[in-house]
Each structure stands twice: as structure tokens, then as C-alpha cells.
Structure 1
Amino acid sequence: MHSHSHPCRCGKSHSKPQPLCAIRSVSPTALKISVAMPATPENGCGCCDNDSGSPGGESDDGSDRPALSSHQFRWQITGMDCPSCARKIENAVQQLPQVRSAQVIFASEKLVVDAHQDIRSAIETAVKKVGFTLTSNDLPSQPAIPNRWRENASLLVLTVMMLASVLLSQVAPAWGDRLFVVTTLIGLAPIALSAGKLLRGGSPFSIETLMTIAAAGALVIGAHAEAAMVLLLFQLGERLESYAAARARRGVTALMALRPDRATRLTGHQREQIALADLRLGDVIEVAAGGRLPADGELLNLNASFDESALTGESVPVVRQPGEAVMAGATSVDRLVTLKVISQPGQSAIDRILQLIEEAESHRAPVERFIDRFSRLYTPAIMLLALLVMVMPPLIAGAAWLPWIYKGLTLLLIGCPCALVISTPAAITSGLAAAARQGALIKGGAALERLSRIQTMAFDKTGTLTVGKPQVTQVEAFSAREENALLRIAAAVEQGSSHPLALAILQEAERRQLRLPQAQYQQTLAGSGIRAQIEGITYQLLAPRDVSELTEDQQQAIAQREAQGQTVVVLLQQQTVLGTLALQDQLREEAVSALAQLKALGINSLMLTGDNPRAAAAIATELNIEYRAGLLPADKVEAVRKLGQQQSLAMVGDGINDAPAMKAASMGIAMSSGTDVALEAADAALTQNRLTLLPRTVVLARRTRAIIRQNIAIALGLKGIFLVTTLLGVTGLWLAVLADSGATALVTANALRLLRQR
């Protein structure tokens, strides 16, 4: 029995197509993996078989050889509030001996596990022990409406009790101190419980463990008010981080919303509405004017224009000929179209972008907060030192127990990292507040720190470096008519059309305050232009390629404008050429100065766009930057990854097509005029939609990083000094308390300097 073989870009032949080998032409989902169901690779082609079991498709040993396993499982994670949760889940799963690798994709809240055998129940139990739940839903679901009161109940209770403790301590210090203790115990209980779970799950020195030790140590030495305040600040920081993470993840759901829920399938002369999941390869579907394509399709019958800006960044609709492929998510601009489905469910252009976002997320190391990392060494070391100070001198040298226990307790307070815990969040909170006040929304401290290290910024063109709306740049009359007369006719012909070029022509006529004649019998010429009659005379607006009456001089003039990146349309009266209108997307007014300021900061600029090379070249020349044009989302991701291997890179964009590249970059920055998906996928957004905010925000991020370093030096420096003086017997418990509180005040005051930046 013979089997048909399919050529593959990986250099091998397979018994059936392997989509990952050609992500641009077909779907990247090589293995259709059901939720918590094993998937077994069939062939030895790593590029085809590996889905997402190892970041970047690399093996565990760090080589380029893909990591293959006999069983792969996927779950949706419930209860993951912050990126650091990803590491906790991975640690818990990797403790199981049968697990080969475990990866959490934070953007879509998925857990992907490669195991030597089917151990689904053991994995689910291990994750549950560290405080998270795995569900049997492989696709992101619509988020439930959060109950704000329930989510913030513990924070509100702790805040009220803290205020009550402060007020009571002014009237009755003893009772106020007791209330501080109660407040600390109430705030510490859930954190200590979580620390215990993480300890059993393989994360002994998580930030929960750090906070438990810090608060317990403060209680032991009597710093009750400080213990309660540290817990309050910790709760507040956790809630803010959880909120930012939830908003970022909603971008994935917004992207999925681009696909309609149902499709119109044609069977003979009958039409039926079916669910998107019921579409099959080869089905014939119908999409009305203004409707979005539910799947990738091959255009049948007549030419048609499609708005593909959401997927390619092209600023004007693209004309497709019969037989050409049109991507899912594109909008039919001018007519009802019929297409043949060429993608399986879950393998359309939108699905490819979703997969690229997840893949880009997997290429970035899990975000780890500085305090969490440092506590692995600092807290255990100080605790061990305190214990040794308490017991070794009496046991070895026969010294008195009480003085050395006192010194050990003093060291325990020095080991309480209150100032250290507050130093970084205080600076980050001040930096984020200052950035928001000047018009930049940055989603978290990790993003702020990455921004401070950026060396190159890659920009999308349409809607980022340009306004995103084509405008009439020139009206040229070839006949004896004046420019305004030519524009009046063109605008009259375009009246009622929703085409972006038509809107630009009408806007220019309105700006010149022209009175338009009444046009009749308007007819859209698919893929070519538009026709109408004015006072019984037929006029047409056509693309230059469809006009055969142009002279050689006229063709040269049009070619010159197109070489400058302009779009040209020709106006005809009957078969006589009256003139041309040139349109172009305009550069943002502040783009040149913004890029110059970035260059002064040592940051290089690069343009990555899906627009045609001529338009891109015109903009890049004006901005004096390098560019790469004609890029699809996958091409942008690949370009960003290659550049990111050489230096820290930020991607600035505004479209859905920019979202995967934003995720692949060290930092994603969205314009506020961009799509919801771009705004949610980015690490930062310019809320005032001005590029000049970029250099200001970079300066602020660099100042924040400098202040974080200063705060850490203050916190650790003072502790180092008092560690030595305590061992020498110069300082005692009360001075250690004062030093710790003083360090907390110093780092907080230092962080607040960021709020004074103008």
C-alpha cells in the first residue's frame, strides 16, 4: 500500500502535512492536543513535531535539537495572579520524577507538560498543593466578572485595622500595640499558609516565605507596628500586580473576538448559519460587505477589496483577485464575497497570531522579582547566622547564654528585610505613578526595569510613526480644469463610500469648503475604483493600472509619486483623463524630534512594517532610520527575535499584527490610538498618543533603576554596619529597631523623589 508523501521545509517528507514547518503559509499548530490528553509525535522532524514543550523549540540540554517526549499534556490554570506564580507552578510540577519538562505560558494561562508517562492526576494534585487549580479548558474563556469587594477584602480589613491601631496607640499605647499584634497575625495567616504550601511544593524561599519570616521576626523583637505595615504594603502590591496581569491577559480574548462566532455556509443554492467550529476545509462561505472572515479563504468569482490592517498593518484596503488567499479577521470593504475555506478550525490567521503570542511568551524567561531571588540567600544566611550567634559562643567558649541570645535576636531583626522589601516596590510605585502622570501607562515594575535597559526601539509605521489616516497630498489637473473643480467632481463621485481613500478625498473637499454636485448611479468597480454620473456625464475614479488612456508623461508623473510612497487615483470623464489625486499617510508631527531625543539617549530606531516598500522607504528617509517592509506578523516576530539576541529591544506599535512582536521583544509599547489587542498585549501604553513621551519615559525608567540600586545599597549597607556593631557589642536591640525603621524611612523618601520629575 502506497502512501502519499508531502515535502516539508525541514528537508523531510511526511505521510501527512506538518503545518509548523511553514507558519506563514499554513497553521503553526502541528499537533492538535486536546486538554489533558497525550499527544505522541509521529515523525522524526523536530520542527514539525514540537509544539510548545520547550521554550524556543530547544531541548533540555540547550542544543537546537527539539525536545520530544512520549506524552504531552495541556491545562488551563486558575488562580494565577502574577508572573512569579509561573515559576512556583513549574517548580511544583518538576518535582515529579516522571516529568521531563514543565512550562507555564503566562499570557494565556496554560500549563504544558512533557512526561514519560500518563501522570495527569499527579500533576493536578501537585499544582493544587501550591494553591492553584488546573481546568479542562484548552482555550481561554471569557473572564468572569470579578467581585472587587471579595478580591480586596483582606486588603481592606488590614487597612482598617492598621488605621485603628495607629489611632488607638495615640490614646492607649499598650492597647494600640496589642492591636498591632492582632493586625499582624490576621495579615500574616494567609501568607504563612501559602508559604507552607510552596515549601512543600519545592519553593522554600518564595516571597511568601520572606514575608512570613520578616513579619514573624518583627513580632519576636517587638516591632509590631512595623510588622503590620510591611504586610499591608505587601498586600497592596500583590493586588496591583494581579490587576495589571489580568488586564494584560484579556488581550488574548480580545484577539479571539476578531473572528465571528458563526459563518454563512453555502450548500448549492441554500444558505445556513453554522458555528465556527463546524467549518471544514473546502466549505464555501459567504461574507457580507463590512463583515469579517471567520476562516482563511480563497476568493471565488469577482475581485474584491479587503481591509487587512488588523493583520498586516497595510494602511489602505488591498484588492484581491479570484484564486487569491484572504486571511481570517480581514474585513470585506465593498461587496458581498464568496470564498472557499482553506484552513481547519483552530488553524486560521488569527489562531496563528495567538500561537505566536504564546510562543513569544515562552522565549522570555519567567519574571522574577528581585526580592524573591535575593531572599533565597539573604534570609536563610541571616537566620543561620543568628542561630549560630545564639548557641556557638556558649557551647564552644562557655560564654553566658543570655547576652548571646540577645545578640542573636538583634541579628534576627537585622535579618528582617523590612527596608529591603519596601525599597524596590516604593521606587517602582513612585516611578509608575510619575509615568502615568506624564502620559505613559507601564504595566508593572518588571516592565519599568526592562525599559531602562532598552538599546533599540523598533517601530511599526502605520498609526505609530504615521497618523494612520491617508490624506490628499496633491491634486493635479491634466485638462483646463482647476484643482478645486477636479476635487469637487472626485468628492461627489465618492460620496457615501466608506473606503479610506474616499473618506480622505471627502475630507479634503470639506476642508476647502467646496460645494459638491449631486452624483447618481454610483457603482463600485471591484478592485479598480468607482463610477458615477453627474448631470448625465459619467465620471470614474480608477487605479492607474486600469487606465489605458494615460500618456507617457502622465505615467512618469504618477510613477514618481508612487516612488515617494503615495497612492494615486485617476479621474476620467467618459474616456478622457482629467487629472490625478495623490494620497499619503502623514508622518506624526513629533516623530522626527522624538527619534532624535531617543538617539541622544543612545537608543537606535528601526521601522518594521507590513506596508509596501515604497511607502516605507519614503517615511524611513524622512526619519533617517533603517526599515524593513512587507512583513507579516510572523516576519516581525522573527526580525525582533534576531535583533533581540544582539541587544535589548522594544517594539512600538498599535495594531493587532504588532502584538506577537511586542511579546517577542524585551518590551512592548502600544500607542493609545491602537487596537485593544495591542494595548493589552503591550508592557506599556502611551495614553496621550505622543511619541515624545517615549524619551521622557526612558529617562524616568533609568532614574527608577538608579534609585532602586540606591535603596538596596542603603538597606543592605545599614544592615551590614549593624551586623558588625552588634557582634562587637556596640549596638543593641533598640538601636537595631531604630536602624531598621530608619532605613525604611530613608528608602521610602528616596523613592518619592521620582514623583517630582517634570
Structure 2
Amino acid sequence: MTDTRKTRFKVDGMDCASCAGKIDTAVRRMPGVEDVSVSVTAGTMTVTHAASGDLAAIGAKLSGLGYAATPLASARGGCAHDHHAHAHDDGPSHRQEDTGTRTPAAASPMGLHGDHHGAGGEGAWWRSRKGRLTLFSGVALLLAYALGHLVPAIAPFAFVAALLVGLIPIARRAVMAALAGTPFSIEMLMTVAAIGAVVIDAGEEAAAVVFLFLVGELLEGVAAGRARQSIQALAALVPKTARLEENGVTREVPAEDLAVGALILVRPGDRIPADGTIMDGESAIDEAPVTGESTPVLKGVGAAVFAGTVNGDGALRVRVSAAAADNTIARVIRLVEEAQESKAPTERFIDRFSTYYTPGVVAVAALVAILPPLLAGASWSEWVYKGLAILLIGCPCALVISTPAAIAASLSAGARRGLLLKGGAVLERLGALTAVAFDKTGTLTDGKPQVTDIIAFDRSEVEVLRYAAAVDQGSSHPLALAVLARAAAEGVKIPPASAARALGGKGVIATVDGEAVFFGSPKAAGERVPLSDDRLAAIARLNDDGKTVSVLLVGDVPAGAIAMRDEPRADAGAGLDALRAGGIRTVMLTGDNRRTAAAIGAALRIEVRAELMPEDKQRIVSELRRDGLVVGKVGDGINDAPALAAADVGIAMGGGTDVALETADAAILHGRVGDVARMIDLSKRTMRNIRQNIALALGLKAVFLVTTVLGVTGLWPAILADTGATVLVTLNALRLLRLPATRP
């Protein structure tokens, strides 16, 4: 088996789909290259190549086309190996392959060509190569106009000279693209049109058209740069330094050097420099930069925190749980960049269409230029001029960028709201969902029991909670933690307990305030002290509601009971209502017992399938699909992985296992049920935007095609029909970056 490797490149100067097409075609034809995946909006290219492949040759090839390529090294050192890695565009992969890069901060670029010349690259636009070329061309055009006014006899030569300032670099790129396999590039169309205009004595107009073309390219670069910055800005959220605690001493270190397990101090008002778990302290954490959560979340010992979020008013000691290359923000950036390199079905169709469209336009332009003079004796100059204008109108840039620009903006906007989508194909399919199946525990519910009822038999409710919390001190059992959390929330002062011991499967016993206290199952309590029929009936009613009941005995007297249940998430009801309002069927798939599942299902008004094994969940998802439904599956555990893979779209909830995140097509970082509806809405907004972009691109071309043939418009409007449409389509797509703020 051939040893293959994947290398990701940062490509500067790639600002439109036409650029991506030329790069893809050129690199794909090189020896040793097996596959190429290019993302305009991320400004990256991933190449699958033989281990012996020549990266310098790839850089030189792109340099000849007018781009600068920089391979990005893995944070682990070197590019990642993938022994049978082939990037496919035919559909979403359920498993994301390591592309050899982590985050912009973690990468160690090995520059082949260090010139950042794309308008969308680093630095001000006028310092870029495209910016300088546009300025020089504009100055040359102004000088030509001035000289032509002062010395009319040399005006034609002055405009040809001004034309050559901008055209020579364009023509060079056209020739290189043709040699690399792209003969019908926009640069070639521009070169043919400009030279043809000079031949028919329209040099002044040709010079102006070349300048407008360069302006259009520059605007495309600025718009593309804005799209890139929307996601790359996330990397800037992580502070550069952290306060590391070692042996009682705190010192400042680079955040990227923090190792897993390190203890860091986060002062009030500081950004948290790494993912981790709070070991000491309590504070309100502003998670809006990472998850879109609109209000700060109060977190204490044991709670997880994300890199880039802002600590509130309390000092925290945090144990680092992920290295800089693998923290939440790094994973978000990596997932979005990988997703932007995978093409949606609509985008693949447009790409195939454009391969026939551009040669077709060239043929139409040739017929318009030749047939009227040959068949009807019309003016050669007039109809060649019209043919040249049609060449410019026919450039497919606006059409080709219409889909990837919208998808990239949506992927970036979703990521900034905690909605991660693994590619354009996933984004398209989300809007087509007609059914969504949810796991229960940790998805529709919080995943941990909460105290729901405190029943007083012989003592007050406060006393019942006080004694129960006393015997549960020091226990890590989920039910004990629920009691302690309720006591803390109500400010109950917990007395000390002595001689505490667990009774396997029954409960716990201890001495509190000099009295023997038992807290455990109703059955075990009944074996110690008989319970009245009224009390047994109350316990049965709570059990029927899917609640777990523990009885408190103080001495030989039943003092009370506490009921607990894994309660629905705060937004679960509203989130499911939003889906049903959109005509989407909802169903709960859970391995929990029928009684508990039915109680939760009734509260949330959702169809319930209970007592399921992982294979049962997968089978039900497959059955729903066979019934003609487009099914989404939402879950957070290992047992959800088979069903996530079987669904049309698998969605992992935040805080879920790595297996669920790996298997799923999408992920909800903050774990809000309502975010499922937001994902679907984002998909529908994106598809509307794509349809608008396609209509805008084709509509403008159709209008100018007709007006050009009728002689109403000429070369100037023709180039505006191309570059202007491209800029308008890109700006329309960028509207998707402004998603409505997420509400808790």
C-alpha cells in the first residue's frame, strides 16, 4: 500500500472560486498528488500526496500562478500521516482526518514564499501585491488621460502603455493557468478582450476595463478577508500568557506551553487561557465569545471552563484538561476550516456547470463576433467589440462563488454561536430534516438528578433536608450530590455526622445530633420501620412520575422523604416546540425504564421509545428513514454513536464523549436543545441566500448580455457585470455572519 501524507497549506492571494479552481487543477496534475481540497474562505489547501512528494514544487507551481503557499506544520511536529487518506467531496465523512494542522497559534509555518499579496491577507490592502498593482494601474491610467489631453497625438500610445501596466501580470497568470490545465480562466478572457480592444482601436476603453478588473479583484480580496477574519478572530480570544502555580509559587508562562494537568490561577476579569476544570473558587463565567451564551454562567468546583471565556468576579484555580492545540477554540477553528474545504452538493453542481458554461460563453462570443459580419455584412469592428464584451460578461466567478461564500459565512457564524457543522453537505441536509430523534439523559435532560420534592412526615421540610444532607456528606453518589446541591441552594446549615457507613443497595446510616439517622430506599426503610398506607401511596405517586424516592428515618420515626429525578433541560420544552412548529416530528430514544421515560416524555410532549439498547436506537433511526423521513439524531454518549452514524444528520450535544463528537456530522457546544432548531434555521437561511446569489449572478449576466448584443452597453458595463456581481454576491453571503444573538 502506498504511503500517503496530508499537508495543509496557507494560500495567500486566493480570493475567489476562480482562483481555487486554477489552484486545484494545477496541483492535482502534479506528480505524486492524489487529491486536493481547496477552501477560498479559509485561505487553505489540503493536499494528499505520496510521502516522497515535493512540497517545494507545489509552492513553486502556485507562485507561478500568482499565489504564495505556506505549509502549516502540525503542533506535534511535522505534517500528519494518513496511510489511506483520500478527501472525497461526494458526501460528508463521519470521521474527520487529521490534516496536519491545529490552530493558527500552534502552527509553525515554513514559508516557501513569504509575500502576503492577497487583499484578504495580513496587513492593509494597499500593501498587498494586488493593492499595489491596482494603484499603479490607476496612476498609469490617470497619466494617460493627462498626456492624451495635453498631446492628443500620443494618446493612443499612452493608453496602451497604461493598459500594459495592469495587463502584463494578468496575461502572465493567464498563460501559467493555461499551461497548468485551466485555459478558460478569467485572466485569459480578460487578456483576449483587452488585446482585441486594442486591435479594433479601443485602447482607451481597454485600459479602463483592465483597471476596473483589478479594482474588482481587490474588492473580492477584501470581502474574502472579512469572511476569513470572522472565524480566525476566535484564535485571538485565547490570552497569550497564563499564571501557572507550581510548588506554591505563581509565575507567568506562555499559554501555549501549558501541559495537561497543570494548575493555573485565573484572576477576576481575566480570560481563561486553557480548557480545564475548576479546582477552587466560584465565579460567573462569560461564555458569549465561545458559545454565544447571552448571560454569564455561575460555575464552581468541578465545573468545566473553556479557553477564551471571561472570568467574572472571583479568583479561580483551574486544572488544565487540554493542550493549546486541542482546546475548544482550536477544535472549533479546525472543524470549520476542514468543513469549508468539503463541498456541498449545490456547490459541486455549480462547479460542474461552470466547466461547460465558460467554454460555451467563449463559443457564443466568437459566434457574435463572426456571424453578423460574415452573413449580413455588418461592421466587423462593431460586432468584434460586442463579442469581446460578452467574453467579460461570461466569466463564471460570481456564479461559482455564490454557494461557497454563503456556506463559509454560515459555518463561521454557526461556530461563533457554538454550532459546529462538518461541511456544506451537512448544512444543506439540515434544512431538509423532517424528524429528529433525541437521546434522553444528558440531551433532553441535564444528565444528573435534582431534588424535585421534599415531603415532611414527622419533621419540617428544612429538617428533612438538613438530616439527609448530613448523612450524604462526603458521598459522590449522584443522588447524594443532588441532596447536597439542594441544601447548598437553600442555605441549609448542615450538621456534622459521625459513624457514617453505606448499606449496599439500601442506603446510608450515620449519627447526627446524637440520633441514629437512616436515609435510603423505601423498601429498606420499611424493613426498619413500618410505613403507613398514606405514605406508601405518596411514594408510589412519585415513582409513577419517574422519580426516585429516598426515605429519611430519625431514630425509629419516619421523618420524611425526598424525591429526585433527572429533570429536563431548561430550554428543552421550548426547543422541541420550535421544531414541532416547523413541522418536524420529534421522538425520544432512551435506554431508561419506561416509567421514567414516559414521565419525561409527557412533560415535554414528545413521542417516547424506552428501554432501548444501542442497536435498537440504530434500528429505529433506520426504520424512520425507510418510512421516507429525513432523520436527525441528537445524542451525547458512546451508546448514541451507532444511531448518530445511521441518521441523515448526526448531532452531538456539548460536553458529549469524543466518540459522539467524532461520529456526528454536527455538534452543539453549549448543549441547548433549542440549538437544534437554530441549526435547521441556519440551513434554511443559507439555502435562501444561495438561491438569491445564483439569481443575482445569472440575472445580471443575462441583462448585460442582452444589452450588449443590442448595442446599449459595452466593455465597461461588461466588466462591472462580472466583478460587480462577484462583490455583490459575496456581500450578500456575508449577511449570514450576522446571526441573531443566542438566548439561554
TM-score (norm 2): 0.58
Contact 1:75 1:110 in 2 (8 A): no
1:518 aligns with 2:479: no
Q: Secondary structure at the match of 1:469?
A: coil
Matched with 2:715 is: 733
1:607 aligns with 2:588: yes
Deviations 1:592-619 (CA, angstroms, capped at 9, x unpaired): 2332233222222222334333322211
Q: Secondary structure at the match of 1:549?
A: helix
1: CA distance, partners of 2:696 / 2:717: 16
Contact 2:497 2:510 in 1 (8 A): yes
- What amino acid is aligned across from residue 520 of structure 1 in structure 2? S
1: CA distance, partners of 2:480 / 2:175: 64
> Which runs of no fewer than 5 residues in structure 2 stay unpaired?
12-16, 40-44, 63-70, 72-78, 85-96, 145-158, 196-208, 235-259, 262-338
1: CA distance, partners of 2:544 / 2:222: 62
Q: Which stretch has the larger CA shift, 130-139 or 683-692?
A: 130-139
Q: Secondary structure at the match of 1:485?
A: helix
Q: 1:688 to 1:226 in 2, by over 3 A?
A: same
Matched with 2:547 is: 566
2: CA distance, partners of 1:452 / 1:648: 10
Contact 1:210 1:375 in 2 (8 A): no
Deviations 1:562-609 (CA, angstroms, capped at 9, x unpaired): 332212234456787654321112223333233223322222222233
Matched with 1:494 is: 472
Deviations 1:122-177 (CA, angstroms, capped at 9, x unpaired): 9999xx99999994657969958324796995633794424445666776655999
Matched with 1:507 is: 485
1:651 aligns with 2:617: no
Q: Secondary structure at the match of 1:481?
A: coil
1: CA distance, partners of 2:24 / 2:721: 38
2: CA distance, partners of 1:524 / 1:461: 30
Out of 132, 146, 154, the position equivalent to 2:107 is: 146
1:715 aligns with 2:697: yes
Contact 1:410 1:733 in 2 (8 A): yes
Matched with 1:453 is: 432
Deviations 1:657-697 (CA, angstroms, capped at 9, x unpaired): 55664555444445555567766766555566544455455
2: CA distance, partners of 1:591 / 1:626: 14
Deviations 1:520-556 (CA, angstroms, capped at 9, x unpaired): 2333455554443335655443345656617684665
Contact 1:181 1:219 in 2 (8 A): no
Matched with 1:419 is: 398
2: CA distance, partners of 1:469 / 1:496: 18
Contact 2:445 2:568 in 1 (8 A): yes
1:224 aligns with 2:214: yes
- What amino acid is aligned across from residue 226 of structure 1 in structure 2? G
Contact 1:679 1:685 in 2 (8 A): yes
* Cα displacement (A) at 1:716: 0.6
Paired residues, what number? 552
2: CA distance, partners of 1:78 / 1:156: 22
2: CA distance, partners of 1:621 / 1:658: 22
Q: Secondary structure at the match of 2:527?
A: coil
1: CA distance, partners of 2:363 / 2:572: 56
Contact 2:5 2:51 in 1 (8 A): no
1: CA distance, partners of 2:216 / 2:510: 78
Q: 1:146 to 1:682 in 2, by over 3 A?
A: farther
2: CA distance, partners of 1:88 / 1:733: 25
Contact 2:174 2:191 in 1 (8 A): no
1:542 aligns with 2:520: yes
Q: Secondary structure at the match of 2:451?
A: strand
Q: 1:241 to 1:438 in 2, by over 3 A?
A: closer
Q: Secondary structure at the match of 1:589?
A: coil
Report 1:467-478 matches (<5 A): 467-477=446-456
- What amino acid is aligned across from residue 497 of structure 2 in structure 1? A
Q: 1:110 to 1:225 in 2, by over 3 A?
A: closer
Deviations 1:695-719 (CA, angstroms, capped at 9, x unpaired): 4554454333223212211211221
- What amino acid is aligned across from residue 485 of structure 2 in structure 1? Q
Q: Secondary structure at the match of 1:565?
A: coil
* Cα displacement (A) at 1:408: 3.0
Out of 594, 600, 608, the position equivalent to 2:575 is: 594
Contact 1:442 1:448 in 2 (8 A): yes
Q: 1:402 to 1:91 in 2, by over 3 A?
A: closer
- What amino acid is aligned across from residue 595 of structure 1 in structure 2? L
Report 1:373-388 matches (<5 A): 373-388=352-367
Q: Which stretch has the larger CA shift, 628-637 or 494-503?
A: 628-637
* Cα displacement (A) at 1:755: 6.6
1:481 aligns with 2:459: yes
2: CA distance, partners of 1:148 / 1:610: 48
Q: Secondary structure at the match of 1:592?
A: helix
Contact 2:193 2:389 in 1 (8 A): no
Report 1:110-125 matches (<5 A): none
* Cα displacement (A) at 1:647: 2.9
* Cα displacement (A) at 1:621: 1.0
- What amino acid is aligned across from residue 454 of structure 1 in structure 2? L
Q: 1:495 to 1:714 in 2, by over 3 A?
A: same
Percent sequence identity over matched residues? Answer: 42
Q: Which stretch has the larger CA shift, 633-642 or 373-382?
A: 633-642
- What amino acid is aligned across from residue 589 of structure 2 in structure 1? L
Q: 1:566 to 1:213 in 2, by over 3 A?
A: farther
Contact 2:668 2:675 in 1 (8 A): yes
- What amino acid is aligned across from residue 227 of structure 1 in structure 2? E
Deviations 1:480-517 (CA, angstroms, capped at 9, x unpaired): 33333232222111112222221110111223332222
Report 1:134-173 matches (<5 A): 135=81, 145-147=106-108, 153=116, 155-156=121-122, 159=125, 160-161=127-128, 162-164=130-132, 173=141
2: CA distance, partners of 1:88 / 1:166: 22
- What amino acid is aligned across from residue 470 of structure 2 in structure 1? A
- Aligned-CA RMSD value: 5.8
> Which runs of no fewer than 5 residues in structure 1 stay unpaired?
1-35, 37-72, 96-100, 113-119, 245-259, 262-360
2: CA distance, partners of 1:600 / 1:660: 28
Contact 1:458 1:608 in 2 (8 A): yes
Q: Secondary structure at the match of 1:586?
A: coil
Q: Which stretch has the larger CA shift, 650-659 or 396-405?
A: 396-405
Q: Secondary structure at the match of 1:369?
A: helix
Report 1:215-294 matches (<5 A): 222=210, 223-230=213-220
Q: 1:752 to 1:143 in 2, by over 3 A?
A: closer
TM-score (norm 1): 0.57
2: CA distance, partners of 1:489 / 1:122: 67
Matched with 2:239 is: none
1: CA distance, partners of 2:738 / 2:440: 34
* Cα displacement (A) at 1:194: 8.9
1: CA distance, partners of 2:680 / 2:214: 39
